[in-house]
Amino acid sequence: MGRVLITGAAGFLGSHLCDRMLKDGHQVVAMDNLITGRRSNLEHLDSKENFEFINYDVSEYIDVEGDLDYIMHFASPASPIDYLKIPIQTLKVSSLGTHNCLGLALKKSARIIVASTSEVYGDPLVHPQKETYYGNVNPVGPRGVYDEAKRFQEAITMAYNNIHGLETRIVRIFNTYGPRMRLNDGRVLPAFIGQALRGEDMTVFGDGSQTRSFCYVDDLVNGILKLLMSDYSGPVNIGNPDEITISQFAEEINELTGKNRPVVYHDLPTDDPLQRKPDIELAKKELEWEPKVGRAEGLKITYEYFKSLSQEELFAKDHNTFEKYTK
């Protein structure tokens, strides 16, 4: 068992990683500057002996007292409306923030895993996406700040591996869902479920024929842990290849919630990928990993979480995420 620094610990994925690392017997140093993360995601861990929280921006020089065995760099705004709102912080956290984490890993002789993304494939012309595909990214479009920062993150991580012999791992994360997603983060699942719960129309962008492949968070966390503990240093896709169109997804959310909300169509945001599905053969071979939780099961658990939110949270003044795409 070791001591791990998790950046972005108060976010959706970060908080689930904290839970898992503590459960596996590690000591967790959780770091977040709470721009998009929420302290409430970690409150259930505050009383634990092996857990500490540091409110800090990883884009600034970082140091952590004591030994570290692992660093998990998961800090970053991760939804399109977040990175539209704070593009410079988005660029900094995956470039400067990654550099700081790599430097710290080197100093502490720690193994590091960085959170990359299916967005490195941009609007992919190859389908499904294999790790060997170089991608189709518009560097100066609205999503470029995220996509290019993550591509730089992969490049500098590989350079530290090659030049310094640092133990590095790169996970390319595809669309993931589950409890603790932010209701107002603008992503399609919280958007549709929030709209259903508030009795609003469901906003489908484009004609709804674009596809995504959604992975339940527990499956993703299992894949990340398997990769961290493996000796494979190249990028690995972790995601669920069960592909669905966004129109079908709206229907599924209507069935799940029983709210039967009408669907309204809006323009597709700039550079919104038309198709996305991970090829997971590499993860199967190298990690013996594949997702286990089907969408029906995962969505049910996730819906219970959103139902448990207060009316205040549900109707918070920034709940209309659709407007944020158009402003």
Q: Is 269 in the site for ligand UDP (CB under 6 A)?
A: yes
Single out the residue of 142, 164, 128, 179 nearest to residue 305, CA to CA.
179
**Residues 246, 42 contacting (CB under 8 angstroms):** no
Give phi and psi for 43, each to the nearest 5.
-60, -30
Q: Is 305 in the site for ligand UDP (CB under 6 A)?
A: no
Minimum distance from residue 272 beta carbon to ligand UDP (Å): 4
Q: Is 146 a catalytic residue?
A: yes
* Burial class of 237 by CB neighbour count within 10 A (0 to 12, 13 to 18, 19+): buried
Residues in contact with 79: Cβ distance below 8 Å, sequence separation at least 6, in sequence order: 182, 185, 186, 187
Q: Is 187 in the site for ligand UDP (CB under 6 A)?
A: yes
**Nearest-angstrom CA–CA distance, 148 and 219:** 26
Q: Is 175 in the site for ligand UDP (CB under 6 A)?
A: yes
**Nearest-angstrom CA–CA distance, 129 and 109:** 33
Give whichever of 35 and 64 is closer to ligand UDP, judged by the CB atom: 35
DSSP 39: G
Q: β-strand 235-238 against 202-205: which pairing, if any? A: unpaired
- Which amino acid, residue 285? K
Give whichever of 208 and 235 is closer to ligand UDP, judged by the CB atom: 208
Interaction residues for ligand UDP, span 191-220 (CB under 6 A):
191, 203-205, 210, 212
Write down the H helix ranges in 75-143.
80-85, 87-108
**Residues 249, 203 contacting (CB under 8 angstroms):** no
Minimum distance from residue 71 beta carbon to ligand UDP (Å): 25
Residue span binding ligand UDP (CB under 6 A) among the ranges 1-9, 67-75, 92-100, 183-191:
183-191
Among 70, 83, 121, 146, the active-site one is 146
Q: Which of 80, 235, 239, 298 touches ligand UDP (CB under 6 A)?
A: 80
Residue span binding ligand UDP (CB under 6 A) among the ranges 21-29, 59-67, 153-161, 265-273:
265-273
Give whichever of 32 and 185 is closer to ligand UDP, judged by the CB atom: 185
Q: Which two tokens stand for residue 21?
A: 């690392």
Give whichever of 54 and 309 is closer to ligand UDP, judged by the CB atom: 309
Give whichever of 74 and 160 is closer to ligand UDP, judged by the CB atom: 74
Minimum distance from residue 298 beta carbon to ligand UDP (Å): 15
Residue span binding ligand UDP (CB under 6 A) among the ranges 60-68, 134-142, 186-194, 220-228:
186-194
Q: Which helix (H) or strand (E) holds 118?
A: none
Q: Which of 35, 183, 188, 236 touches ligand UDP (CB under 6 A)?
A: 188
217-228 and 12-23 helices cross at what angle (nearest 10)? Answer: 60
Give whichever of 272 and 290 is closer to ligand UDP, judged by the CB atom: 272
Give whichever of 267 and 304 is closer to ligand UDP, judged by the CB atom: 267
Residues in contact with 143: Cβ distance below 8 Å, sequence separation at least 6, in sequence order: 80, 83, 119, 122, 137, 270, 271
Q: Which of 272, 281, 286, 313 touches ligand UDP (CB under 6 A)?
A: 272
Residue span binding ligand UDP (CB under 6 A) among the ranges 42-50, 161-169, 266-274, 308-316:
266-274
Q: Which two tokens stand for residue 101?
A: 């984490």
Q: Footprint of ligand UDP on this chain (CB under 6 A)?
A: 79-80, 175, 186-188, 191, 203-205, 210, 212, 246, 268-269, 272, 322
Q: Which residues are tagged catalytic?
A: 146
